[in-house]
């Protein structure tokens, strides 16, 4: 495997990855959502982590929309790429342009797939609390669909 710039997983022929890192700007919204959803979908032996390019703060809207589907982040707090305990992954999924560029730079010469899933930033939403939550739900649901495809999991009939 080599670092790539595709928007899909790059893993279709190899089966699901054994370890995945999700990266966004501040590890406050998109990447922790992806991490929590992925952990709920994959076998226990799959290593899942997330990080941000810059330090961030936990977003209460993430807790709200994950809670709606029975997930939570527990005591987890945002972390940067520099704070990761492990630095080898089979797949790195970037969710923001700056995260993609940083992941590519960090992994030049490494045998790791780096893919970009363009994912909207729900913090730009305005309006009522419900309208803002709706934009977070859209991101959550988009990530869940992509993760089901990545890990070859059929959608539930609920």
Output the six-digit token pair for 75: 């005591």
User: Given a cut of 90, is residue 157 above it in pLDDT?
Assistant: no
- Indicate the burial class of 43 (C-beta count within 10 angstroms; 0-12, 13-18, 19 or more): exposed
Strand partners, 113: 91
Q: 18 with 46: CB under 8 angstroms?
A: yes
Confidence at residue 12, expressed as pLDDT on a 0 to 100 scale? 44
Beta bridge partners of 92: 21, 114
Q: Confidence band (pLDDT; 50, 70, 90) for 155?
A: low
pLDDT tens digits, one per residue of 23-46? 999 999 999 999 999 999 998 889
Indicate the pTM of the whole model: 0.87
At residue 8, does pLDDT exceed 60? no
Question: Buried b vs exposed e over 1-36: b needs ≥16 C-beta within 10 Å?
Answer: eebeeeeebbbeeeebbebbbbbbbbbbbbbbbbbb
The 10s digit of each residue's pLDDT in 49-94 is 999 999 999 999 999 999 999 999 999 999 999 999 887 899 999 9
Answer for the pair 114, 103: CB distance below 8 angstroms, yes or no.
Answer: yes
Q: Which of 57-61, 103-107, 109-113, 127-131 is least confident?
A: 109-113
The domains located in the chain, with CATH, are 19-150 (3.40.50.2300)
SS3 44: coil
> Which of the four pLDDT bands, split at 50, 70 and 90, describes residue 102?
very high
């Amino acid at each position: 495997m080599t670092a790539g710039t595709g928007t899909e997983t790059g893993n279709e022929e190899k089966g699901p990855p054994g370890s995945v890192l999700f990266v966004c700007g501040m590890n406050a919204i998109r990447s922790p959502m992806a991490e929590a959803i992925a952990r709920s979908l994959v076998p226990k032996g799959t290593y899942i982590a997330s990080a941000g390019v810059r330090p961030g703060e936990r977003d209460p809207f993430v807790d709200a929309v994950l809670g709606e589907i029975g997930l939570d982040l527990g005591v987890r707090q945002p972390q940067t790429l520099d704070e990761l305990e492990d630095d080898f992954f089979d797949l790195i999924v970037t969710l923001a342009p700056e995260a993609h560029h940083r992941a590519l730079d960090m992994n030049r010469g490494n045998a790791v797939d780096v893919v970009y899933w363009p994912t909207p930033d729900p913090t730009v939403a305005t309006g009522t609390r419900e309208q803002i939550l709706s934009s977070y739900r859209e991101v959550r649901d988009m990530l869940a669909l992509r993760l089901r495809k990545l890990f070859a999991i059929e959608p539930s009939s609920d």
